Structure 1
């Protein structure tokens, strides 16, 4: 049974569109139409060749993976190499962390030294220590240094801490 107006036998409700009409279509409509068309003989042949190459490659990779069974000595060596690489990565991270802490300490020391008064510098150093606090229970200052720091902090008018510009 053929539908009336069809140029292709066995296709119901679809009429053939000539190359001139395809060229007149906008690109989206042309792409939709061409998506359902049968490819030309040269394109179909190249698709068949590509499919056979892909199947051959898949078969080769499967057979190669079966042949690649490692002996225990090789597996042990691979494990040791993996552990060495992990240790190197851990060491790089540790060095990067140390380098960052050192640069941060330098920046904070610079910021502290650029304060206009010694009192501001001491306050900033108390609130932003250049190095992280270590859990030391002893006081790092001797009693004379402690008295000097406390007298500087008690100086409200800044008579002892004003710097000469």
Structure 2
């Protein structure tokens, strides 16, 4: 037995993105007796293009709802985590800026101390030279 199927478009706008576009459907409707008489492989191919039973449709809808709820919850959790991460990043950046300011201040203090020591050594040297010069002049 050959299978023929037709392509049915959605009624509202032709191709619907929600339903996945075209719907394939068997051209010929078979009775339950004809389905039972078919080989299992042919039967599964035929049933692949039939609408699922009501229980399966309900199960599919409930599982889709469950997945959507889970994805929404995951999205909300990731948003909260992102907010916490943003706060942590801001805090870490502030701490980094404070550490850099402290390091600059330490360098400035060391530079001033070094310059002060050089100046004091220079004055000590000048005083020593003045003393030697005065002793040189005071000798007969």
**TM-score of the superposition, structure 2-length normalised?**
0.40
The answer to which structure has the higher strand fraction is 2
The answer to which structure has the higher helix fraction is 2
**TM-score of the superposition, structure 1-length normalised?**
0.34
